Amino acid sequence: MCTSQPTMQLTLPFLDTLRGHAPTVVGERVEVPMATHRPETPVATMSLMEEVCQRANLQRAYRCVVANQGSPGVDGMRVDQLGPYLTEQWPTIRDQLLAGTYHPKPVKRVMIPKPGGGERTLGIPTVLDRFLQHALLQVLQPVWDPTFSPHSYGFRPGRSAHQAVAQAQQYIAQGYRWVVDIDLEKFFDRVNQDQLMGQIAKRVQDKRVLTLIRAFLDAGVLTGGLVEPTVQGVPQGGPLSPLLSNLVLDALDRELERRGHQFVRYADDCNVYVRSARAGQRVLASLNRFVTRRLKLRINAQKSAVARPSQRAFLGFSFTGGPTPKRRLAPETLQRLKERVRDLTRRSRGVSFERMAQEVGRYLRGWQAYFGFCQTPSLFPPLNRWIRQRLRAAAWLQWRRGRRRFAELCKRGVPRWQARRVAGIQRSVWRACSLPQMYMALPETGWQTLGVPILATW
């Protein structure tokens, strides 16, 4: 789903001037679930593909692709080339869609590092296929989403990770002091495609839409110049994949609801809250059987556990103990923050100090927009001091020699006699950047001018 709506004039023959708005997601600070769990209603129309190809729907899909940008797929087409391409080729593409004969191109495999170690496989569709997936998503999601469980928060309009964390906190406050933390092993790579298509067929009667979705699943993956067939899994990286993943896991949600459990699910992260460790072990064993036999998936035994919520991480957060649990940062979250700041301020980067400060500030603003939701403000003052100390150390290393350090200190308001006194000092970098003169040159009040925010809770 796109998150912004840039203003532009399109020259595509099937589009008018862009007006109106694409679907938006409720802001992260809103804690009121917007989705409701309505009974499942199949899409009974036989003209669903005509809705996909409607002008207004295509306008929104094109706007989303342009706003999200993204890398080229296997054909090398960039986002800015999509408009001219559609201007020439759209009549042919539209005829193929309406006839049910459109064939997507294979996805490009990209490996990205996972926060906890290892790698995650992404499949990047071509720009054209992303455009068509967006158009299909915008027709299917308004019909499917209301039928999903209110306990599901991932990739849904009006729902957010913060709402999921807040709901988990409420369960703990209500006395469910044990959590069954379920990790599905390589979920996107192991989805049973036949079972998924069976679920879709219960909701969609237009054979052309079913054929198109199956074609996206069967498109294959380009690896080392060869196309590998995909017999299972949903390519993680396409616009349609999050909706399909929620459809797969809707069966898990319904089973947990049938059993009367208190649970929260965000994509493939699922936490079930119970009152005792013994109950948690029973739930974990029974869910393992259900996931294996019914969903044809696997629970990762090494990463799944029954534990106190304070000992586990959920969407980057953890919880304090006691009668009134509070949201706090998980230890892994702090570790990843420090690793990223160290990477941005390393000596070998070869960028100016001012640019380094801007890049650190940009990262911290995005980090705070999400993790500022925690309720442990005492953590932030020492963290702010450490980040600023890292930046002062980076500046000291960049100034390198005594003459340059003397000039930089004087330029930043340090008296000449004090600058001369410390410019050639022989100390470790960390001790040198702790000198009072460095605090005068780079004071606490000046960091926001450089673009470095002060981390704090909301």
Rounded-to-integer distance, Cα 168 and Cα 151, Å = 10
pLDDT in tens, 186-245: 888 889 999 999 999 999 999 999 999 999 998 888 777 777 777 788 878 889 999 999
- Asked whether 266 and 154 are in contact (CB, 8 A), the reply is yes
pLDDT in tens, 236-280: 888 999 999 999 999 999 999 999 999 999 999 999 999 999 999
How much is the pLDDT for 449?
Answer: 86
Per-position DSSP letters for 145-203, written without gaps between them? GGGS-TTB-TT-TT--HHHHHHHHHHHHHTT--EEEEEEBTTHHHH--HHHHHHHHHTT
Structure-token pair, residue 74: 């296997």
pLDDT in tens, 47-76: 889 999 999 999 999 999 999 888 888 888
Rounded-to-integer distance, Cα 365 and Cα 104, Å = 38
In whole angstroms, how far apart are CA 394 and each of 92, 154, 430, 451? Answer: 56, 39, 10, 16
Q: What are phi and psi of 117, to 5 degrees?
A: 105, 155
Q: What are phi and psi of 30, to 5 degrees?
A: -85, 125
Q: What are phi and psi of 360, to 5 degrees?
A: -60, -45
| 3-state secondary structure at position 216 | helix
Confidence of residue 37 (pLDDT cuts 50, 70, 90): low
Structure-token pair, residue 426: 């022989």
pTM beyond 0.75, yes or no: yes
Percent of the chain whose predicted confidence (pLDDT) is above 90: 59
Confidence of residue 36 (pLDDT cuts 50, 70, 90): low
Mean pLDDT of 345-364: 90
How much is the pLDDT for 340?
Answer: 95
Among 15-19, 152-156, 401-405, the range of highest mean pLDDT: 152-156
Average pLDDT along the chain = 86
Confidence of residue 400 (pLDDT cuts 50, 70, 90): confident
